[in-house]
Structure 1
Amino acid sequence: MRDKSDRNAQGRIVAEVALVIYPDCQLSAIYGLTDLFRLAVTAAHVAGERDTPIIRITHWQDMGDGVACTYDSHPGNPHRAQYIIIPPSLIMPNDLPSMQGLAGWMTRNHEQGAILCSVCAGAFVLAETGLLEGREVTTHWAFADSLRARFPKVKVDADRIIADDGDIITAGGILAWTDLGLTLVQRLLGASAMLQTARFLLIDPPRQAQRPYSSFIPKLDHGDAAIRAVQHWLPAHVAAEWSVKMLADRAGMEERTFLRRFKAATGLRPTEYVQQIRIARAREALELTRRPVEQIAWEIGYGDPSAFRKLFIRITGLPPAEYRRRFGVARHAPADAPVQI
């Protein structure tokens, strides 16, 4: 990997990732994620991207009179955080002070479309927003009972490394910031940049079965909260049966109104949007596993492998088998074996 700063790469900023510094947080996660995202941009540049996507990295801290930016990799542009990450804590979660200032700041950004993320005990800070109520989240196994006791309406599953609920992503384990970081790299820059970053850092790809879509980057900053809620629901239920009426009911609209507003907000019809999400998930499975194409098709909601292949070719330009031959990294591993870099 060439030592080329993302400041010098020619490209466009595709997302601002905001890292939150709070009392006694794990600073190695803050600076490790900062470096990971910069290396990922370099990986995308080395891969030959003509219009290299840039990840803007910012650090934020409650200064007492408000939450302020203390570091900005690309200063000069108005802030619009697409992802906010709460790092682990170096003290026991029960000793963490209340952080209502940060909670209010995160809530306001979430209302503007930001996806909120936490690592390990960072889930306790994130839970103060109230946005985790009724959600499935993860944290370090040793803190799971404390999280349940302190926030009884939160559904804690400490067996998962990554719990992706669309607009809320939580990671378990004090070093799971690498899993979360690579998960976001794959979402923003694609699987190739994620794998190149993992190789360079000598770490495994994200240790989770359900990774987010990679190359398809949905438009979330359109300001239509009802449509955005549907967008957040869809990736977490990629194989579910759906209809326009069901999605319209979730948004609290008549079907005709929903179709008009969904297209205006996302640029796609609901059918096209769901296809993009499903094919992105299929691409990931083809790249990182040896599961049969028919099984992958079924897992993302297509009972007819022939129809799946036609759609895959239409969206990617390649048949699934050819796509795997070109981009797969698990060609010689057992079908369900984790990928080793």
Structure 2
Amino acid sequence: MKHVSILVPEGECSLTTIEGTYQILTRVNDWLIEAGCDDLFVVQLVGLGREVQMKEGRFRVFPDVLIGEVSQTDLIIIPSVHGDKQKILSDNQPMLDWIVERHRQGAAVAALCIGAFLLAGTGLLNGRCCTTHWDFAHAFREMYPDVNLVEDKIITDENNIYTSGGAYSWLNLIVYLVEKYCGREIAVTCAKGFQVDYQRVSQSPFIIFTGQKNHEDAAVQAAQDFIEKNTHCKITVDELAEKLIVGRRNLERRFKKATGNTVMEYIQRVKMEAVKKSLETSRLGVNEVMDRVGYTDAKAFRTIFKKVTGLSPLQYRNRYNREYV
């Protein structure tokens, strides 16, 4: 038997990831029995208190046991958490200590979506890879610079620690864990039963690049504005530095510090967002779209686009443009 502890942290967290994980794992038990096997998962909701209120009191969750009452756990599931991350860490410090101790005793730990913030608060992710929702990538890096965030990944698996990408990517991680514990056949049944496309490996096609604007560097802000207003032009770092009357090295250093991107990375990402928007909303051909953002090398353009989105321009258009559905 595998004892699974689905955590119910204090504060705002995703009811969907709590209830959904419980539902999937208990349904897997049914499929195992139907296949002539013994059931595998003993699933408990584990909290710091007997009752946790969420969504301004609209919902209440009653954990099965408190952390001090858990006699055995093989897998700890951390749900997605919302709100002030520092407050969540503070309110759940005893739970963080418990996670660390149980991991030292051999328990696996899986964080769903932005539950990665809570997991990172234990220190277990320091020096290791993890993923989370792409929209929280900059905030995560600022809060946890010692963690190697790979925001394009759907799943990470390292040292008995697992994380998932944004929003409903947690379903992919749960099916991945089902395969680890129950084998491929049951995982396929699970994926079909819950209609999960669990072969996805990247959340790049879903990322919307908006640029980091929450800083006070006026020169960097001016550079960002110029880049975003001139997606049709070929822009160089030297041109930007000259325009802003700032040394190139100084601009590159300040830009990276303020935005988390190099100047050239930022230019590419802004141009690719413009391309994505055109592919989503117009009937322009790929070469026409390429020309509109100042690219003349078709091979280089397609390489960069696929690096950013995980798809070719044609695949992206066919997925997101209604007229091509």
TM-score (norm 2): 0.54
1:205 alignment partner AA: Y
CA distance in 1, matches of 2:167, 2:84: 12
Other-structure match for 1:33:
21
Other-structure match for 2:77:
85
CA distance in 1, matches of 2:146, 2:164: 18
Query: In the TM superposition, what is the alpha-carbon distance from 1:63 to its structure 2 partner?
Result: 2.4
Q: Say whether the 8 Å CA contact 1:40–1:197 is kept in structure 2.
A: yes
Query: In the TM superposition, what is the alpha-carbon distance from 1:155 to its structure 2 partner?
Result: 0.6
Unmatched segments (≥5 aa) in structure 2: 51-61, 203-325
The SS at the match of 1:176 is: helix
2:64 alignment partner AA: Y
The SS at the match of 2:12 is: coil
Query: In the TM superposition, what is the alpha-carbon distance from 1:92 to its structure 2 partner?
Result: 6.0
Q: Say whether the 8 Å CA contact 2:81–2:118 is kept in structure 1.
A: no
1:197 alignment partner AA: C
Q: Say whether the 8 Å CA contact 2:89–2:118 is kept in structure 1.
A: no
Misfit runs of 4+, over 4 Å: 92-95
Using a 3 Å threshold, how does the CA distance of structure 1 residues 154 and 82 change in structure 2: closer, same or farther? same
2:49 alignment partner AA: M
Other-structure match for 2:34:
46
CA distance in 2, matches of 1:192, 1:142: 34
1:79 alignment partner AA: S
Other-structure match for 1:221:
none
Query: In the TM superposition, what is the alpha-carbon distance from 1:94 to its structure 2 partner?
Result: 6.2
Instruction: Work out whether 1:104 is the aligned partner of 2:97.
Output: yes
CA distance in 2, matches of 1:206, 1:87: 22
Other-structure match for 1:121:
114
Percent identity between matched residues is 30
CA distance in 2, matches of 1:166, 1:179: 19
CA distance in 2, matches of 1:139, 1:30: 17
The SS at the match of 1:116 is: strand
1:57 to 27, 38, 43: 43
The SS at the match of 2:40 is: strand
Count the aligned residue pairs.
186
Q: Say whether the 8 Å CA contact 2:3–2:74 is kept in structure 1.
A: yes
CA distance in 1, matches of 2:159, 2:199: 17
The 5 A counterparts of 1:158-169 are 158-169=151-162
Give CA deviations for 1:246-299 in whole Å, capped at 9, x if unaligned: xxxxxxxxxxxxxxxxxxxxxxxxxxxxxxxxxxxxxxxxxxxxxxxxxxxxxx
Other-structure match for 1:144:
137
**Could you say what the CA RMSD is over the residues aligned between the two structures, in angstroms?**
2.2
User: Which entry has the higher C-alpha Rg, 1 or 2?
Assistant: 2
Query: In the TM superposition, what is the alpha-carbon distance from 1:109 to its structure 2 partner?
Result: 0.4
Unmatched segments (≥5 aa) in structure 1: 1-12, 210-341
CA distance in 2, matches of 1:78, 1:20: 11
1:198 to 191, 201, 205: 191
1:87 alignment partner AA: P
Q: Say whether the 8 Å CA contact 1:93–1:143 is kept in structure 2.
A: no
The SS at the match of 1:58 is: strand
Query: In the TM superposition, what is the alpha-carbon distance from 1:79 to its structure 2 partner?
Result: 2.5
Query: In the TM superposition, what is the alpha-carbon distance from 1:135 to its structure 2 partner?
Result: 0.4
The structure in which a higher percent of residues are helix is: 2
Other-structure match for 1:189:
182
The 5 A counterparts of 1:231-270 are none
The SS at the match of 1:175 is: helix
Query: In the TM superposition, what is the alpha-carbon distance from 1:78 to its structure 2 partner?
Result: 6.8
Using a 3 Å threshold, how does the CA distance of structure 1 residues 104 and 157 change in structure 2: closer, same or farther? same
Using a 3 Å threshold, how does the CA distance of structure 1 residues 103 and 116 change in structure 2: closer, same or farther? same
Give CA deviations for 1:21-52 in whole Å, capped at 9, x if unaligned: 11111011111110100111111222233xx1
CA distance in 1, matches of 2:125, 2:71: 25
TM-score (norm 1): 0.51
